[in-house]
């Protein structure tokens, strides 16, 4: 009996969004009288940071600081239509809709500024700090605060915009069934190292090294948090979590979170994250959707590492000590 070490590798790709009905999302953007901007969505922030990312996208497109943007994720009664926050679609779909709406609002803003400065709107640019400048003559400028005041109380203009992102619907070819269900895919590869006690079946994950290709990391620290948390979640799915350990039987299943097995801080492996940026042609500033993908490759990587360590293939999750011991006994020809 011994502690055996193994290494497993797994690589995946993951679609962003879905193909159903064009997977549409709408967004509205408007300025307040004091030059702040409101983004209205029905895309819900589940804690993954959508509000922050939408604020960044809107601010980048209009040309204002991020703290001048407020994101309101309303509800389905009062907000513009959204298919929902799922399928790793939030940043890609809502982000594209916000860009469209922000561009329309920016154009109105520049037109009002042009009237105030007595120039053409095409001759203007923003400095990202809250000002609009004449190209080549930055001393001739006006603040976005003053432009918003002028639009609301002098020019009678609404600095606002509407956006809707819709992907081309892909239909299967009759002869082959081939289709294109997504316009962009994220990719990942994980290498997991484990130790397996062949007497008890206990698995210890030593290290997990992950490489994620996500298009473009619009907020690198938030991306890192999502990917590290997802990696730990993948380990949890691989080795711990289940409501029905003897599925389809409900015997010995947990009845509340006190009985639901999850790893604690001492069970989490040393985790390394590498982000590759390969901008998507149709992503908002090149972004793809890493949301669900980040918890996927760890599962087959751990399963492969267990196989490498003790030579048994476990194809049912979670990979419990009991399942490993039963597989080892079966391999040795002993009755379970």
Count of domains forming the chain: 2
The answer to whether position 106 is within a domain reads yes
The answer to whether position 95 is within a domain reads yes
Percentage, residues of the chain above pLDDT 90: 74
The answer to whether position 43 is within a domain reads yes
Which tens digits make up the pLDDT trace of 236-261? 999 999 888 888 888 888 888 888 88
- Statement to judge: residues 135 and 11 lie in one domain: no
Give the pair of three-digit tokens for residue 24. 């549409």
Q: Which residues form the domain of 72?
A: 25-165
* pLDDT > 70? residue 120: yes
Which tens digits make up the pLDDT trace of 138-180? 899 999 999 999 999 999 999 999 999 988 888 889 999 998 8
* pLDDT > 80? residue 30: yes
Stronger pLDDT, 66 or 86, i.e. the higher one:
66
Which tens digits make up the pLDDT trace of 177-194? 998 888 889 999 999 999
- Statement to judge: residues 12 and 29 lie in one domain: no
For residues 204 and 197, what is the distance between their CA atoms, to the nearest angstrom? Answer: 9
- Statement to judge: residues 102 and 205 lie in one domain: no
Query: Are residues 93 and 83 in contact, defined by beta-carbon separation less than 8 angstroms?
Result: yes
The answer to whether position 62 is within a domain reads yes
Supply the pLDDT for residue 248: 84
For residues 42 and 80, what is the distance between their CA atoms, to the nearest angstrom? Answer: 6
Supply the pLDDT for residue 180: 84
Which tens digits make up the pLDDT trace of 185-234? 999 999 999 999 999 999 999 999 999 999 999 999 999 999 999 999 99
- Statement to judge: residues 51 and 134 lie in one domain: yes
Supply the pLDDT for residue 336: 62
The answer to whether position 31 is within a domain reads yes
- Statement to judge: residues 36 and 57 lie in one domain: yes
- Statement to judge: residues 201 and 151 lie in one domain: no
């Amino acid at each position: 009996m011994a502690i055996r070490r193994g290494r497993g590798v797994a690589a995946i790709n993951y679609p962003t969004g879905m193909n159903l009905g064009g997977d549409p999302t709408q967004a509205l953007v408007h300025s307040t009288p004091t030059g702040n901007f409101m983004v209205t969505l029905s895309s819900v922030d589940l804690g993954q940071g959508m509000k922050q990312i939408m604020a960044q996208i809107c601010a980048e497109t209009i040309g204002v600081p991020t703290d001048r943007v407020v994101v309101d994720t309303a509800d389905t009664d009062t907000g513009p239509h959204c298919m929902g926050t799922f399928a790793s679609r939030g940043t890609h779909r809502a982000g594209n809709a916000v860009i469209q709406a922000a561009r329309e609002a920016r154009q109105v803003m520049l037109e009002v500024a042009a009237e105030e400065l007595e120039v053409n709107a095409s001759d203007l640019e923003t400095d990202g700090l809250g000002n609009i400048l004449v190209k080549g003559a930055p001393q001739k400028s006006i603040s976005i605060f003053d432009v918003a005041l002028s639009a609301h109380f002098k020019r009678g203009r609404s600095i606002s915009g509407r956006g809707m992102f819709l992907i081309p619907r892909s239909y299967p070819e009759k002869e082959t069934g081939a289709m294109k269900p997504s316009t962009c895919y994220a990719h990942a590869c994980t290498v997991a190292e484990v130790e397996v006690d062949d007497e008890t079946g206990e698995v210890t994950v030593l290290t997990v090294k992950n490489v994620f290709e996500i298009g473009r990391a619009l907020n690198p620290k938030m991306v890192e948090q999502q990917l590290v948390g997802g990696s730990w979640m993948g380990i949890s799915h691989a080795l711990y979590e289940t409501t029905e350990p003897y599925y389809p039987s409900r015997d010995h299943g947990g009845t509340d979170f006190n009985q639901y097995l999850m790893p604690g801080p001492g069970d989490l492996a040393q985790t390394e994250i590498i982000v590759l940026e390969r901008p998507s042609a149709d992503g908002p500033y090149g972004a793809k959707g890493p949301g669900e993908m980040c918890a996927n490759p760890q599962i087959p990587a751990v399963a492969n590492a267990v196989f490498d360590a003790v030579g048994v293939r476990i194809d049912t999750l979670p990979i419990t000590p009991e399942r490993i011991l039963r597989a080892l006994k079966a391999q040795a020809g002993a009755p379970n």
